[in-house]
Amino acid sequence: MSNLRGVGVALVTPFNEDLSVDFDSLTKLVEFNIANGTNYLVVLGTTGESATLSSDEKTAVINHIIKVNSGRLPLVLGIGGNDTMAVKKQIEETDLSAFEAVLSVSPYYNKPNQEGLYQHYKVLAGTGKNIIIYNVPSRTGQNIEAGTTIRLANDFPNLIMVKEAAPNILQYFDILRKKPANFNLVSGDDEFTLPVTLAGGNGVISVIGQAYPKEFSTMVQLAFDGKVKEAYEIHNKLVEITRLIFAEGNPAGIKFVLAEMGIVKNYLRLPLVAASAGLQDKIKTEMSKI
């Protein structure tokens, strides 16, 4: 699906001091990304602290982003979980008319084997909706192996893409080498974005990209154009800030960066807490260099 190409950003959910959703900041964040070259927006991913939003809040966030975006960029919606039939039901009952696809994380905590993972996504494919497989073993406790992803890609055309965030970059390359032509891979790890795109990936669903959309989208476009040296210059400029924002977990780091830029306020919902003073100092120093 070619319009999910380049830099998608996994938007944070900004909060006020009383931890209510800060819709004014959310407007600012969406407008900032649209104005600075982001290619598509991912709503209610992990970075959006979706685990601690009520269903009413999720609906309000979705509707607000649809309204602010006003059809300007493609949208992707996060709907995942570890109860297969409940995820299927939620996908079927959600109005997805404004969305290109659903980003669905692999089942966490249950730790299914590869056959269980295959059967999970087979059921989701049965909804007939465009689904992006999301493999993030650091959060789910279980890796979707390259062979399982390829098998799913070959069997179900509406499983259109994988957001791959395995810690092993060789797994990305195995998928890129063996995947069918109509199936795409995007990096789910900001630091792997450039090598993965150069190897044939479709870009990234990024966290840091929402703070530096111009730089990140330029880097990915240079990679698509085969301008490797110029792309790596931008990559090298952003590597340190990318590592720092994940040092104490996501989205603590990115929320601090965005707060320093005056786009959101630096509040998170428990069990997540704000970045430590030490990390904040390091991030500020790195931001001043960029």
Instruction: Using CA atoms of 24, 29, 35, 36 in order, give the dihedral in degrees to the nearest 10.
Output: 160
The residues, any chain, with a CB within 8 Å of residue 144's CB and separated by 6 or more, are: 106, 114, 117, 133, 135, 137, 162, 166
The one-letter code for the residue type at 92 is E
Cα 105 to Cα 210: distance, rounded to the nearest angstrom: 20
Angle at 72 between CA 68 and CA 73, to 5 degrees: 100
Instruction: Check 118, 121, 134, 172 and give the catalytic one.
Output: 134
Q: How many CB atoms lie within 10 A of CB 267?
A: 19
289 assigned to active site: no
The one-letter code for the residue type at 180 is P
Cα 192 to Cα 222: distance, rounded to the nearest angstrom: 15
Cα 205 to Cα 42: distance, rounded to the nearest angstrom: 8
88 assigned to active site: no
The one-letter code for the residue type at 157 is P
Instruction: Check 88, 163, 179, 255 and give the catalytic one.
Output: 163
CB 258 within 8 A of CB 250: no
Catalytic residues, which ones? 134, 163
